[in-house]
Amino acid sequence: MLYGSTRGGSFDVTALEAILRGIAPDGGLYVPENIPDLSGLKGESFLQTARQILAALFPEFALQAEAMAGKAYAGHFSHPDITPLVPVGDSHVLELFHGPTAAFKDVALCALPLMMNAARERTGDTDEILILTATSGDTGSAALAGFREVSGIRILVFYPEDGVSPVQKAQMVTMAGKNLKVCGVRGNFDDAQTGVKEVFASYQPPEGLALSSANSINIGRLVPQMTYYFTAYAALVRQGAIQSGDQVNFVVPTGNFGDILAGYLAKKAGLPVGKLVCAANANDVLKDFIQTGLYDRRRALRQTLSPSMDILVSSNLERLLYFVSHDPAFIAGCMEQLRTQGFYQVPKEYMEQIRETFLTGACSDGEGLDAIEKVWQRHHYLMDPHTAAAWKVKEELEQSGRLPGANVVLSTASPFKFPGAMAKALGLALNDDASAAEILGQRLGLPVPQSLTGLQAKPVLHQDVIDPRDMLAYVQNKAVGSW
């Protein structure tokens, strides 16, 4: 199985190279030449399913996949099912946040460092790897935790100064490790992400050093995320909510379009997925796109209570455009127009294909807070603001009859990462600082993920904060010498 760029047209790169490089030299994203048929997967155990998916999409790892899945997941998640499916009212919530940093990104970032290291060994590549990552809050700590003490790899995380919660920030700036660096950027997530993309485009690393990415532009991030679509489906069958073969809808709080694209890959691989619902917050570029075919980033980014969805340029949409068009020149044109003019228009025939699978909706902060409060009152279940956005969109679509059948809402973060929003929703007085998660847990009588406790007592190890225009110089400076 070979990989090629969404903007290139030829499939001449192995999975190993695609994972090591992160992004294709022409700026496109790597996609597999075909999607294997995984309709026979039972999806019963998370580790077995992860092994089968890794081996099918990355055949070079077939022999190591079992060990990799074990090393990535066994013992690192606080729930025995890894990603448990929990009934809430008439729906089901797929809890993806039981990993080391309490966000769904752990599912991919527990596996990616292992894959990168194995890829280095297999290719005989001795270059040191410098991972550059922009984070909207959760990728940062998940990537830092995943790459900590991995030899031959260093990681530099840029986070937007205005745009992560105090708990998220504390998680990152207190993370210890000889190969880790964290730097604030004065601006929002798009400023940080654009800055990282520019470094990739213009920075020539010194001999012996290669750049790579831990963002979901890396195909090694997306593939492990297919696993929980399969295990969730199997759990629904087991719980008697559906018969094997029935279609299931998945409602996904969406930012960079990576999580939902993994669901699309699962569907293409044969899982009976009905609709994939792209839930947005007030930054509803994707909702407008799915409804109109016009992708238009010419608007101000709004800061919301669901910061991981505060994104105007959703990188992985480029992969969806590839799967519906198979036209690299068309995609290259769209991406160039997006860069220079801030928008592109997708023809009707492609949009019809997209709308066969994708539904969409948006949720304001106020609506999200209402959903949190209502679900807490009715079901004693606490949702984080991202999950709440998906919940609200699910209800809206159900009420208008557009979402028949069984629904799974993906829960992408522990509510304790966002104690400020929880306090607001439930009408509690709480100081939103690094200790807020623990205090909220005590007040509500709920357990708090271990990684979110004791943060206020930890020393701050990373204090750098820079302007977006200084990111390239910062990388040039830090790339050489020890940390």
Ligand X SMILES: *Cc1c(COP(=O)(O)O)cnc(C)c1O
Residues of the shown chain interacting with ligand X in the complex, contacts defined by CB under 6 A: 103, 105, 138, 216, 253-259, 308-309, 386, 412-413
Q: How far apart are the first and last CA of the chain?
A: 38
Q: Do 180 and 460 touch, CB atoms closer than 8 A?
A: no
Residue 238 CA from chain centroid, whole number: 27
Least distance in Å: CB of 148 to ligand X?
19
Least distance in Å: CB of 169 to ligand X?
14
Between CA 478 and CA 127 the distance in angstroms is 16
Least distance in Å: CB of 469 to ligand X?
25
Which stretches within 124-249 are classed as H helix?
138-147, 166-173, 189-202, 219-225, 227-238
Nearer to ligand X, 105 or 181 (CB): 105
Nearer to ligand X, 64 or 451 (CB): 451
**Burial annotation 159-181 (CB, 10 A radius, 16+ → b, else e):** bbeebbbbbbbbbbbbbebebbb
Nearer to ligand X, 30 or 257 (CB): 257
Kind plus residue range of the DSSP H or E element containing 30: strand 30-32
Clarify whether 105 is annotated catalytic: yes
Least distance in Å: CB of 228 to ligand X?
13
Least distance in Å: CB of 420 to ligand X?
15
The residue assigned the tokens 């499939």 is: 11
Angle formed by the axes of helices 65-73 and 46-57, nearest 10°: 130
The residue assigned the tokens 């990415």 is: 213
Check residue 75 and report its DSSP letter: T
Least distance in Å: CB of 412 to ligand X?
3
User: 108, 322, 67, 373: which is closest to 218 by C-alpha?
Assistant: 108
Given 105, 287, 392, 424, the catalytic residue: 105
Q: What are phi and psi of 157, to 5 degrees?
A: -110, 130
Between CA 119 and CA 220 the distance in angstroms is 11
Nearer to ligand X, 249 or 256 (CB): 256
Which residue type occupies 295?
Y
Least distance in Å: CB of 265 to ligand X?
13
Which stretches within 58-147 are classed as H helix?
65-73, 105-109, 112-123, 138-147
Neighbour-count burial of 263, counting CB atoms closer than 10 A to its CB (0-12 exposed, 13-18 middle, 19+ buried): buried
Nearer to ligand X, 216 or 357 (CB): 216
Nearer to ligand X, 194 or 308 (CB): 308
Nearer to ligand X, 3 or 257 (CB): 257
What are 157's strand-pairing partners?
A: 133, 182
Q: Do 190 and 311 touch, CB atoms closer than 8 A?
A: yes
Q: Which residues are catalytic?
A: 105
